[in-house]
């Protein structure tokens, strides 16, 4: 490491023989949040890739390690951020979204920037602003299995063109959670959700993304980018604190809501009206929130309970569906739009 930026180390043009023999070696060598800067053929321009904001989402880091080991010289200078290293290395490895009793790193990119994570987020923002890159791509894995997609808080022609290089599905959202992509920097920032953490297809999607970002001269050439399937202004199904949740093939008597164990198969397809997603008592609708952009809870317009089954009240398209109760309860059960 050649220098430190407060909480974040910076490593410039790392040689392959210093990267370690595995992704775990690589992360142990980094030790903490690290910028990896790789000089490109054109040093007058640069791009930024961030990854491992969540410690249980390894595809971006795995493919970055492979790309660095290849010794490829990028078209323009690249700045890679590997962020939640400590969380990723906490046993069991690549299973902790963030450290216990610490905030979600990708909810800290907004004032007041408190605590270690807040300071790291502020430094990331400041460095990206000073670098003035052509674009930022933030690589994640989804909390459950499912196809890849991109997410953006802004929708310019450049956002569309860049997103189309990464996935055929684009979510345009105004929900503000404190994520990196929400920061106003005057440049395209796209989140790539590559797929499930242990899906081979997710690693291939992340590798394809890094390939585009490092090898292409013009990221925004419209003729090279196909049209994307746009999902505009999704809402989130969230559970109130104290709600209990499980995923199973039959109703659990110990939880407020039991969702089907295979609910992930609804990701991005059309889930028809009156589809049973699981089991619950009538009072579950008092414990769930689907807040629209006017602040109204629309849960009763979208779901109902009949005969103990939790059902859809209209045709929906669900995405970011997870089967991990801890993540579902701390973040959301899934996102949705009306079909």
Per-residue pLDDT tens for 49-87? Answer: 999 999 999 999 999 999 999 999 999 999 999 999 999
- Is the pLDDT score of 222 beyond 80? no
Q: What is the dihedral of CA 252, 258, 259, 261, to 10 degrees?
A: -30
Query: How many Cβ atoms sit within 10 Å of the Cβ of residue 136?
Result: 25
The β-bridge partners of 334 are 237
Which residue reads 């790392």 in tokens?
14
Query: How many Cβ atoms sit within 10 Å of the Cβ of residue 272?
Result: 11
Closest among 180, 131, 124, 121 to 152, alpha carbons compared:
180
Q: In the chain, what is the greatest distance between 2 CA atoms, to the nearest angstrom?
A: 65
Question: Which pLDDT score, from 0 to 100, does residue 76 have?
Answer: 98
Question: Which pLDDT score, from 0 to 100, does residue 144 have?
Answer: 78
- Is the pLDDT score of 159 beyond 70? yes
Instruction: Kindly give the pairing relationship between strand 189-196 and strand 229-232.
Output: unpaired
- Work out the pLDDT band at 223, boundaries 50, 70, 90: low
Distance of alpha carbon 136 from alpha carbon 159, whole angstroms: 10
Query: How many Cβ atoms sit within 10 Å of the Cβ of residue 21?
Result: 8
- Is the pLDDT score of 281 beyond 70? yes
Distances (CA, A) of 337 to 160, 280, 295, 303: 19, 22, 16, 13
Cβ atoms 69, 19 nearer than 8 A: yes
- Work out the pLDDT band at 282, boundaries 50, 70, 90: confident
Question: Which pLDDT score, from 0 to 100, does residue 143 have?
Answer: 82
- Per the structure block, which two tokens stand in for 312? 């859809």
The pTM of the full predicted model, rounded to 2 decimals, is 0.87
Q: What percent of the chain has pLDDT over 70?
A: 97
């Amino acid at each position: 490491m050649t220098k430190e930026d407060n909480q974040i180390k910076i490593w410039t043009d790392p040689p392959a023989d210093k990267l370690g023999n595995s992704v775990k070696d690589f992360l142990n060598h980094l030790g903490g949040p690290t910028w990896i800067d790789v000089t490109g053929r054109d040093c007058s321009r640069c791009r930024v890739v961030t990854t491992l904001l969540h410690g249980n989402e390894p595809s971006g880091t795995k493919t970055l390690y492979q790309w660095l080991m290849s010794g490829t010289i990028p078209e323009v200078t690249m700045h890679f951020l590997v962020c939640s290293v400590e969380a990723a290395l906490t046993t069991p490895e690549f299973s902790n979204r963030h450290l216990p009793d610490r905030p979600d790193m990708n909810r800290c990119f907004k004032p007041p920037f408190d605590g270690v994570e807040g300071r790291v987020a502020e430094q990331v923002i400041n460095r990206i602003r000073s670098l003035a890159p052509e674009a930022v791509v933030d690589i994640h894995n989804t909390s459950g299995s499912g196809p890849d997609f991109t997410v953006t808080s802004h929708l310019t022609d450049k956002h569309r063109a860049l997103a189309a290089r990464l996935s055929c599905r684009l979510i345009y959202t105004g929900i503000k959670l404190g994520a990196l992509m929400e920061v106003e920097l005057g440049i395209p920032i796209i989140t790539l959700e590559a797929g499930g953490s242990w899906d081979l297809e997710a690693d291939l999607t992340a590798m394809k993304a890094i390939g585009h970002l490092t090898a292409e001269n013009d990221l925004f050439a419209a003729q090279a980018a196909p049209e994307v399937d746009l999902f505009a202004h999704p809402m989130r199904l969230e559970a109130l604190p104290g709600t209990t949740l499980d995923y199973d093939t039959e109703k659990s008597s110990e939880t407020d809501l039991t969702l089907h164990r295979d609910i992930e198969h609804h990701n991005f397809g059309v889930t028809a009206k009156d589809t049973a997603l699981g089991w619950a008592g009538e009072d579950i609708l008092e414990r769930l929130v689907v807040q629209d952009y006017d602040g109204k809870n629309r849960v009763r317009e979208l779901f109902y309970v009949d005969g103990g089954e939790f059902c859809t009240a209209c045709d929906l398209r669900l995405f970011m569906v997870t089967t991990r109760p801890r993540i579902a309860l701390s973040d959301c059960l899934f996102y949705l739009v009306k079909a």
